[in-house]
Amino acid sequence: MSKSKSVFRTKWFRAGMIVLLAGMIILAGAAAYVLGHAAASTSQGGLPDFFPKAATETPVVTEILPGEVITPTISEVEQAIPAATPWDGAGRVTILLVGLDFRDWNSEEKYSRSDTMILLTLDPLTKTAGVLSIPRDMWVSIPGFEHSKINTAYYLGDAYKLPGGGPGLAIKTVEEFLGVPINYYAQIDFQAFEDFIDEIGGVRVVVPSKITIDKLGDGAKTIKKLRPGEHILSGPWALAYARARYTEGGDFDRALRQQQVLMGIRERVFNAEMLPKLIAKAPEIYSELSSGIRTNLSLNDAIRLALLAQQVEEGNIQRGVINDDYVLFGFSPDNLSILIPLPDKIQLLVDQIFNTGSSLGPATAGDALAQMQAESASLAIFNGSSTPDLADRSANLLRSQGVNVASVSETADRTFATTVIDHSGNPYLLKYLLETLKINPNKVYSRFDPASPVDVEIILGEDLARSGIVP
């Protein structure tokens, strides 16, 4: 293959990833379809600019004295990416979606407060998901600092040059506040948000009551009044709708509108006519949006999450807002309006969002065998070793453990390393196979194929035949 063709295909793959990540952030798993087409046309997987690169040096932790403010450079802030909490590919995964305060962003401040915090969670086993919005004025404990509004965590992490920067401290703050582990974060700037909405042809929202929205910019042309009913909003107006605060419910209403827009994006991306257009324009979308996204989500996990998110139906997405039912209104020591959380009530809401009907309760959530059996993914076994009966013996072993073995056959292609191919997103069977047969994780591939007769294929290699694992 020529170098120029290889580079083109790598860029194509990267372009698919930008579409995929944007889709995943709003639970639009149909973006996995884009990935499938992009991956099919690439011979090597390049890492998009917004995916984290491997660290090349150990971060320096500076001791901060009381009252002392450390001022990092812009490059130091941009490089501060929190380490991701490892995801095993089988358990629940949670992403913190962060939007920055426009006033800080527009005034080109070195550090920004967060203006929006939304938790997105996905349960691979039950194919359910949850969306939980956290108001910016929530009065919480900031790790390493005193109590403050939750939106200051992002600012403090950057300003004090903490490991992981603003995203890292924001994640720790939300984890301690809600008692929910967070695997990843994603932060999208305003321009990238607007551009992505425009790329998909706008979003449909149903406005419940009359509202005046004001898009970024100056002058009368930036103001629009929306009447109750259905509207298709372009990128700038969708952002204006999501940012509007001056309604009766204030920030609580705004959180509902933000979720409305996210679900509108999901609906649009799922449209059968939209997917081919996204695929065709993937390189252009990548070029436009890549600089506007920061995340610690790895490329491999993005692929796995997209395959899983694709299977979540809208009716299986729990949505919630920490609103006036869960807080008291008060004032901070410096007389700022704050929201004082009611922990018991908030815990009930968190339980509702993060326990979306799983057939496996907390007592059995870690039981890999039970999870695999409940998933009931079909498996095709191919013998790629020189040991004639290895496939039959392996099938007997796996069936005895409850694996849904659909077929057993020989293959003329010999291989040394046992290989697993997942066609539809089946984390528990993959985890079980890796642990039971001691398979190299680097030999597990995600190749989305809705037409495949089985969910997962395994090609047994010489390494398994020699291991003595299969009786």
| CATH code of 211's domain | 3.40.630.190
Q: Is residue 23 part of a domain?
A: yes
Q: What is the pLDDT of residues 303-332, one digit of tens each?
A: 677 667 767 888 899 999 999 999 888 888
Q: Is 27 domain-assigned?
A: yes
Give the whole-angstrom CA distance, residue 79 versus residue 330.
37
Same domain assignment for residues 339 and 391: no
pLDDT reported for residue 5? 40
- The count of domains in the chain is 2
> Which domain does 176 fall in, by range?
9-354
Q: Do 324 and 385 lie in a common domain?
A: no
Phi, psi of 228 (to 5 degrees): -55, 140
Please tell me the distance from the alpha carbon of residue 245 to that of residue 118, in angstroms, as a whole number. Answer: 16
> How many whole angstroms separate alpha carbon 266 and alpha carbon 262?
6
Q: Are 269 and 200 in contact (CB under 8 A)?
A: yes
- Copy the structure tokens of residue 238: 């969708």
Shared-domain flag, residues 451 and 321: no
Residue 360 lies in a domain: no
Count Cα atoms within 13 angstroms, Cβ side, for 130.
Answer: 23
Are both 386 and 280 inside the same structural domain? Answer: no
> Does 101 fall in a domain?
yes
347 lies in the same domain as 399: no
How high is the pLDDT of residue 150? 95
Which residues of the chain fall below pLDDT 70? 1-81, 84, 86, 88-89, 101-109, 216-220, 270, 272, 275, 279, 282-283, 285-287, 289-290, 299-300, 302-303, 306-307, 310, 356-367, 425, 446, 448, 450
CA separation for the pair 343, 373 (Å, rounded): 36
431 plus 293 within the same structural domain: no
In this structure, are 293 and 388 located in the same domain?
A: no
In DSSP notation, 299-339 reads: HHHHHHHHHHHTT--GGGEEEEE--TTSEEEEE-TT--EEE
Number of H helices, E strands in the chain: 17, 19
Token pair 């063709």 is found at 5
Q: Are 256 and 245 in contact (CB under 8 A)?
A: no
Give the pLDDT score at 311. Answer: 78
Does residue 203 contact residue 238 with C-beta atoms inside 8 Å?
yes
Q: Distance (Å, rounded) from C-alpha 425 to C-alpha 305?
A: 8
In angstroms, the CA 11 to CA 67 distance is 47
Q: Is the dihedral of CA 267, 268, 269, 270 positive or negative?
A: positive
- For residue 379, the cross-strand partners are 405, 456
Q: Please, what is the Cα angle at 192 between 257 and 124, to 5 degrees?
A: 65
Tokens 């956290």 correspond to 134
Total count of residues recorded for the chain: 471
Q: What is the DSSP letter of 384?
A: -
Q: Is 234 a domain residue?
A: yes
In a domain, 344, yes or no: yes
Structure tokens at 44: 């090597």
Looking at 354, 380, 409, the residue that finishes a domain is: 354
20: helix, strand or coil: helix
- Give the per-residue pLDDT at 227: 92
pLDDT for position 53? 43
Residue 359 located in a structural domain: no
Do the Cβ atoms of 455 and 377 come closer than 8 Å? yes
**44 and 127 assigned to the same domain:** yes
Q: Does 349 lie in the same domain as 393?
A: no
For residue 177, give Cα distances in angstroms to 308, 342, 463: 27, 11, 47
* Pair (266, 411) in one structural domain: no
Closest by alpha carbon to 46, among 78, 8, 79? Answer: 8
State the CATH number of the domain containing residue 380: 3.30.70
- Angle (CA) 16 20 26, round 5°: 155
Which of 331, 354, 377 is the last residue in one of the domains?
354
* Residue where a domain stops, chosen among 354, 382, 404: 354
Provide the token pair at 55: 């660290």
Q: Which residues contact 152 (CB under 8 A, 6 or more apart)?
A: 113, 142
Q: What is the pLDDT of residue 107?
A: 58
Is residue 4 a part of any domain in this protein? no
HSE toward the beta carbon, residue 221, CA cutoff 13 A: 2
Q: What is the DSSP string of 244-255?
A: ---STTHHHHHH
**Same domain, yes or no, for 349 and 379?**
no
Joined together, the tokens standing for residue 320 give 């919630």
Phi, psi of 449 (to 5 degrees): -150, 95
337 shares its domain with 263: yes
